[in-house]
């Protein structure tokens, strides 16, 4: 199950997306604090930014734990180099 799950999850992409969301929400919090004196309506963005930040941080924790568990259970061990078939043999025989 671990190898099947590992092949279905691209941890690098998930971490990248979570990092982008965290960075955007952090910038949104900074923008909210900076503009709060001049434009009071910007304060409405604060709960959205904090929610995004909390969820992305929680996502980092969950993905990190899954990554460690997968490594410890052997799901993340490198396999030997394998030949990847682009076409099945029966497709080649049809020509």
Q: List pLDDT tens digits, range 5-25.
A: 556 678 888 888 988 999 999
Q: Which of 62, 65, 47, 53 is nearest to 19 (CA)?
A: 53
69: containing domain? 2-93
CB 92 within 8 A of CB 21: no
Q: What is the pTM of this model?
A: 0.61
The alpha carbon of 85 is separated from its chain's Cα centroid by a whole number of angstroms, namely 28
Distance CA 67, CA 83 (A): 26
Per residue in 31-88, pLDDT (tens digit) is 888 888 888 888 888 888 889 889 998 998 998 888 888 888 876 555 556 666 666 6
């Amino acid at each position: 199950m671990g190898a099947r799950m590992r092949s279905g999850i691209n941890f690098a992409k998930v971490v990248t997306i979570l990092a982008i969301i965290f960075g955007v929400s952090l910038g949104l919090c900074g923008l909210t604090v900076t503009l709060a004196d001049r434009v009071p309506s910007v304060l409405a963005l604060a709960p959205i930014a904090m929610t995004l930040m909390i969820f992305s941080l929680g996502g980092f924790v969950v993905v990190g734990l899954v990554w460690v568990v997968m490594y410890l259970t052997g799901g993340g061990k490198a396999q030997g180099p394998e030949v990847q078939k682009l076409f099945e043999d029966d497709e080649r025989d049809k020509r």
